[in-house]
Amino acid sequence: MRLTEGSAGARVLAFGGYQPAKVVTNDDLAATVDTNDEWIRSRVGIASRRIAGPDETVADMAVAAGGKALAASGLSPRDIDLVIVATCTPEVQIPNTAATVARRLGIAAPGAYDMNAACAGFCYALASAADAVRTGTAGNVLVIGSEKLSQWIDWTDRSTCIIFADGAGAAVVGPADDPAEAGIGPVVWGSAGDMADKIYIKDRDSFIFQEGQAVFRWATTALHPVAKQACERAGVEPAELAAFVPHQANLRIVEAIARKLGAPQALVADDIVTAGNTSSASIPLALSRMLERGEIPSGAPVLLLGFGAGICYAGQVITVP
């Protein structure tokens, strides 16, 4: 039996992001729940977030972000042979979002699967995409994080309705035959199943629940060792990082982990300010916008760190296109 042969490494060829048109400000929320702009900004860091239209789906947003990434990659749809969508909020159980996205983007007959690791989803999916390319299972992979959390929110619950939002982000992953070009480092992933009761959606008729303080304590203590391990596995010193792009759960969590990382020179993503917490979309959405604004030089090393319900987490260093 033959084993596949792939490439020495894998790298991200392009990113793309999509935010729904509707902007919801803190003042908008203060009109219906007991909260205010100042409290939200200081506690969570959000100034505004985007909410998808009532008929706008996870697949719609995935197609938008995926299409942008594909266009920016210089590849054509026929070059993609695997589509992975990280999502925990699909409206449709079957068929999966990935097969739908592939059809709508004109990608013929790729492997297609959805995966759910909540807010760690993009980093998990990216790791799997990189593995597929390196082992030769796939030539080029379209990886998308897309979430419509708004359909799971209790809009009278001020502990959640101020945080979660909608959006999508995507990356095209291709081969890097020269190890020097290799741009996706080894993933460090894991889970803390004992924290399962801290973030959950119980069933299809329930809202999202989060025990914020417990999650804050866990995230600000358990994750910086994972971050450092991801750097170590990639052979990159934290002090060499151009940017740190963790899941945009809460700006206070982001800043607390950044303080412990030992990368004072790294640009710390704060996309949550105008995006909210978009779960698996947050990392690729943040990256697509940071790159659009020219904030990270091409080829520079960036640490990604996803974490969310499970609790599941995953981090890896990548070089940006």
Residue 201 or 214: the one with the smaller Cβ distance to other proteins is 214
Binding mask 233-272 for other proteins (x = CB under 8 A): -------------------x---x--x-------------
Q: Contact with other proteins (CB under 8 A): which of 47, 195, 214, 267?
A: 214
41 binds other proteins (CB under 8 A): no
Select the span of 167-175, 186-194, 210-218, 273-281 touching other proteins (CB under 8 A).
210-218
Q: Which of 140, 247, 250, 312 is catalytic?
A: 247
Q: How far is CA 238 from the centre of its chain?
A: 21
Q: Which two tokens stand for residue 213?
A: 């303080």
Q: CB of 129 within 8 A of CB of 173?
A: yes
Omega of the bond leading into 95 within 30 degrees of 0 (cis): yes
Q: Contact with other proteins (CB under 8 A): which of 216, 270, 274, 295?
A: 216
Minimum CB–partner distance for residue 43 and other proteins (Å):
7
Which runs of consecutive H residues, i.e. helices, occur in the chain? 26-30, 37-43, 58-73, 97-104, 121-135, 212-234, 251-261, 282-292
Question: Is 119 annotated in the active site?
Answer: yes
Minimum CB–partner distance for residue 250 and other proteins (Å):
8
Q: CB of 122 within 8 A of CB of 88?
A: no
CA distance 286 to 194: 29
Per-position DSSP letters for 281-308, written without gaps between them: GHHHHHHHHHHHTT-S-TT-EEEEEEEE
Minimum CB–partner distance for residue 253 and other proteins (Å):
9
Q: Which of 96, 123, 277, 312 is catalytic?
A: 277
Select the span of 16-24, 85-93, 132-140, 211-219 touching other proteins (CB under 8 A).
211-219
Q: Which two tokens stand for residue 131?
A: 């593995």
Rg of the Cα trace of the chain? 18
158 binds other proteins (CB under 8 A): no
CA distance 269 to 296: 11
Q: Which of 88, 119, 123, 161 is catalytic?
A: 119
Question: Is 312 annotated in the active site?
Answer: no
CA distance 314 to 191: 9
- Residues classed as catalytic: 119, 247, 277
| Chain residues in the site for other proteins (CB under 8 A) | 42-43, 213-214, 216-217, 220-221, 252, 256, 259
